[in-house]
């Protein structure tokens, strides 16, 4: 597999560098890094990260991981309000370009990123772990479901819809987390986005992930006063249960 984009709405459609590297300027300018000791680095980038910088960093880091020159990385970020369009995005699902729109190489359709949403860019070497894309996506779902359970929320997967969903009663279901993946040389990038306390009205400019008839929710919308720090701790704990330990 040289460079495969996973279209998560239909799995069958599957068709940072080291600190001394000059491409590491994003990592060295504000990223809290944990040295790798057997597991992936778990790193928090404070502040709002411009999306193009995130993509540039991921592209470089994935190349370094594939070449064996850098460890795997779990990169936790927030973005300013933006929309991103995956490889399956339908132009009709961009209802109003309220924010900048970026075309991206990940699988999936339109999604929103913004303050109050925890984005985790997942850069793992599946060749070393398990070169099975379906199993990887299942594990991403399991990771999010486990983290939500620690926070008191029952997240669920749906066979016909991507992401993690919360049943609200009366047949209503809202999405609380999105998944979008790309894989190059069996190294993953892009990842997941979990709604903590974003402005949910910002989703109104798109049909999120192309799914009509369902809404979006967040931990705050569900009545939980949960901080990003709480969410990060739950994500880290659940990750270790699903994927194995991270670097100390």
Q: Whose structure tokens read 């190489």? A: 105
Q: What is the pLDDT of residues 97-141, one digit of tens each?
A: 889 898 887 877 788 999 999 999 999 999 999 999 999 999 999
Q: Is the pLDDT higher at 248 or at 142? A: 142
Task: Give the global pTM.
Answer: 0.84
86-95 LR contacts (CB < 8 Å, sep 24+): 86/7, 86/110, 86/111, 86/180, 87/5, 87/7, 88/7, 88/9, 88/13, 88/210, 89/210, 90/207, 90/210, 92/207, 93/206, 93/207, 93/210, 94/205, 94/206, 95/204, 95/205, 95/206, 95/207
The residues annotated with a catalytic role in the active site are 209
C-alpha to C-alpha distance for 111 and 187, rounded to whole angstroms:
22
Q: What is the pLDDT of residues 198-228, one digit of tens each?
A: 999 998 887 765 455 678 999 999 999 999 9
Q: What is the pLDDT of residues 138-162, one digit of tens each?
A: 999 999 999 999 999 999 999 888 8
């Amino acid at each position: 597999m040289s460079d495969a984009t996973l279209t998560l709405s239909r799995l069958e459609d599957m068709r940072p560098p080291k600190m001394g590297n000059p491409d590491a300027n994003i990592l060295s300018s504000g990223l809290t890094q944990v040295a790798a000791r057997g597991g992936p680095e778990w790193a928090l980038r404070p502040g709002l990260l411009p999306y193009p910088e995130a993509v540039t960093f991921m592209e470089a880091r994935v190349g370094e991981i594939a070449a064996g020159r850098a460890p795997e990385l779990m990169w936790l970020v927030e973005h300013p309000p933006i929309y991103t369009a995956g490889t399956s995005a339908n132009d009709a699902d961009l209802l109003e370009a309220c924010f900048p729109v970026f075309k991206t190489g990940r699988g999936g359709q339109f999604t929103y990123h913004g303050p109050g949403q925890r984005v985790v860019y997942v850069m793992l070497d599946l060749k070393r772990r398990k070169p099975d894309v379906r199993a990887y996506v299942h594990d991403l779902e399991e990771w999010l479901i486990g983290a939500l359970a620690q926070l008191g929320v029952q997240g669920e997967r749906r066979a016909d819809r991507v992401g993690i969903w919360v049943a609200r009663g009366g047949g209503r279901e809202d999405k609380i987390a999105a998944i979008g993946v790309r894989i190059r040389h069996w190294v993953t990038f892009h990842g997941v986005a979990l709604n903590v306390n974003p402005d949910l009205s910002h989703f109104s400019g798109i049909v999120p992930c192309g799914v009509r008839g369902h809404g979006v929710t967040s931990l705050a919308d569900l009545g939980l006063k949960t901080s990003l720090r709480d969410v990060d701790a739950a994500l880290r704990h659940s990750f270790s249960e699903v994927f194995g330990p991270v670097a100390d």
